[in-house]
Structure 1
Amino acid sequence: MARPSRSPRDRDPDPTESVVERTFSHLARLLPLALVPLATALFRTRDLLATAQTNGFSLRASFPVYRYDLWSFVDAPNGSGVTVSLPFGGLEPLPLLVPAIGAYVVVSGALSAGYFGSIADGITVGGFDFVAAVRRFGVRMVLLEAIVVAAFAAVFLPLLVVPPLFVVAVVAGLVLSYLFFPTVYVLVLEDRSIGSAARRARGLVARDQPLGFFLAVAIVTAVCSVPVSLLAHAGPVGAFAAALVAAPLGLAFNVATALKVAEMAGIETVG
């Protein structure tokens, strides 16, 4: 994907810098994008209120698959004080109405287009235009969102009929997540079609085998989930504060993953 030339102030990142260091070097510039994970957290108003009214905490590990927000770190209450959740470890009932699913796909896809497109521009050219990113990637992101929803249904809905398949479905979900987690990042970093991005992502994973990074993200999100969930369970003010805290935290995880994928793909980033 063609990128505007960088100004003399931009510097090439030091190859000895860790992904963590490079992530924090970008966060201040990209911080307005934290409004997206804040919005997606607040969309689940019923879960937020239920969490605020329940004591306990959640231990939730989230692999680098998609957007991070409060619900990447906190499980909505399920009737017990302490919950332990792994990625794809729970199944929430899908909306019964097709228009509701369609609205979710469109809104979420548009937000993802602006969010991930802006992150890609932020780490490669040092600036971003959220609206331009929505225009550029909106159609592809909405389609990708629809594919993800359909794939999720294909993997997990059979559990409603044959519950013993749960373990198989979880393993299948984790394997697919690992094999294709760079897809959304490759799509915006290299301006590819969905199919091309998925093939490219699969090739990058096969070549670089970033299992350590994949697992490290899950471990760090699990560690972060404890204090965030304790705050979320501390009443309505605490729940809103947890959403505020989780928004830049989620942005940091998405930026870190974008930087990792850019490194795997050999894409030049700014400091």
Structure 2
Amino acid sequence: MSQPSSGPAAPDPPDTLVERVASRLPRLLPLALVPLATALLRAWDIVATGRSTGFSLRASFPVYRYDLWSFVDAPRGGGVTVSLPFGSLDPLPLLVPVLGAYVVVSGALSAGYFGSVAAAITTGRYDFAAAVRRFGVRFVLLEAFVVAALGALFLPLLLFPPLFVAAVLAALVVSYLYFPTVYVLALEDRGIASAARRARALVDDHRPLGFFLAVAVVTAVCSVPVSLLAHAGPGGAVAAAVVAAPLGLAFNVATALKVAEMAGIETVE
């Protein structure tokens, strides 16, 4: 993928980011099939959401791949639910083979997805299959690492619930410090450790806290109409997944453009 340019990047005014995303989104729309697929794979949550009433208020920081569940919290009962930005903390009764299959499938989809977004914004072209071949192993390993890290962080809460606040704060800090990792990995074709170090350096240098928080606020605003649609019956839940797919793609493209700007990587229209 692209390497950082030799000279300093001339950052665009912040208010042009929406326009930059809008100009690129139409030719990237086929990639919305990825967040649609990841949303529909949670079939039981689709059914439960469609059968429940109320709405979800969910804010999602720019950490990973957006889909319906970045805007809607699967119900744990009726009424209004509020979800944390980095996802549900409820333990899932997943067997090791099922979890392993999830890591492989999700990692491969992420490789094609983020690799294609990176190629599209830097060259104007993308090849999903080629991105899977190029980045697949790295994204599967990254996915496995994240799953293991989340388990190590949150499973102790079952035994020591008072640690919940500390765990939430730790997750928020780590999310902020390393959110560019998946984008840097694809944009600069780095290994996982190198991408993480580069992401940390970019955050230190550019301090994108405003962008990080703004994404959470905008996703929370978007979550209200999306969740109202999702709770309007089984058909509404599927329709919400369809609506959320290009919306999630837009957030990922916006974050990729932001990281490219921070890294001094030239992008194309």
Bin of the TM-score, shorter chain as denominator length: over 0.9
Can you list the C-alpha shifts for 1:182-224, whole angstroms capped at 9, x where unaligned? Answer: 0000000000000000000000000100000000000000000
1:261 to 259, 262, 268: 259
Can you list the C-alpha shifts for 1:141-164, whole angstroms capped at 9, x where unaligned? Answer: 000000110111111111111011
CA distance in structure 2 between the aligned counterparts of 1:216 and 1:193, rounded to whole angstroms:
29
* Secondary structure of 2:12 counterpart: coil
Can you list the C-alpha shifts for 1:17-42, whole angstroms capped at 9, x where unaligned? Answer: 62111011110010000000000000
2:56 to 32, 55, 58: 58
* Secondary structure of 1:18 counterpart: helix
Structure 1 residue 98: deviation in Å? 1.2
Mark the runs of 5 or more structure 2 residues left unpaired by the alignment: 4-8
* Secondary structure of 1:99 counterpart: helix
Moved more, 27-36 or 148-157: 148-157
Q: Describe the shift of the 1:126–1:19 C-alpha distance in structure 2 as closer, same or farther (beyond 3 A).
A: same
CA distance in structure 2 between the aligned counterparts of 1:177 and 1:225, rounded to whole angstroms:
20
> Where does residue 76 of structure 2 map in the other structure?
78
Letter in 2 for 1:15: D
Q: Describe the shift of the 1:13–1:40 C-alpha distance in structure 2 as closer, same or farther (beyond 3 A).
A: farther
Structure 1 residue 121: deviation in Å? 0.5
Moved more, 17-26 or 129-138: 17-26
> Where does residue 138 of structure 1 map in the other structure?
136
> Where does residue 96 of structure 2 map in the other structure?
98
Mark the runs of 5 or more structure 1 residues left unpaired by the alignment: 4-11
CA contact (8 A) 2:2 2:187 kept: no
Structure 1 residue 93: deviation in Å? 1.7
CA distance in structure 1 between the aligned counterparts of 2:179 and 2:245, rounded to whole angstroms:
20
1:36 to 23, 27, 34: 34
CA distance in structure 2 between the aligned counterparts of 1:84 and 1:94, rounded to whole angstroms:
19
**In the TM superposition, what are the counterparts of 1:238-253 in structure 2 within 5 Å?**
238-253=236-251
CA distance in structure 2 between the aligned counterparts of 1:40 and 1:214, rounded to whole angstroms:
23
> Where does residue 151 of structure 2 map in the other structure?
153
Q: TM-score under structure 1 normalisation?
A: 0.94
Q: TM-score under structure 2 normalisation?
A: 0.95
Can you list the C-alpha shifts for 1:100-136, whole angstroms capped at 9, x where unaligned? Answer: 1110100000000000000000100011000000000
CA contact (8 A) 1:13 1:270 kept: no
* Secondary structure of 1:157 counterpart: helix
Q: Percent of counterpart pairs with the same letter?
A: 77
* Secondary structure of 2:81 counterpart: strand
Can you list the C-alpha shifts for 1:200-255, whole angstroms capped at 9, x where unaligned? Answer: 00000001000000000000000000000000000011111100000000000000
**In the TM superposition, what are the counterparts of 1:176-187 in structure 2 within 5 Å?**
176-187=174-185
1:211 to 189, 198, 209: 209
* Secondary structure of 1:78 counterpart: coil
The number of equivalent residue pairs is 263
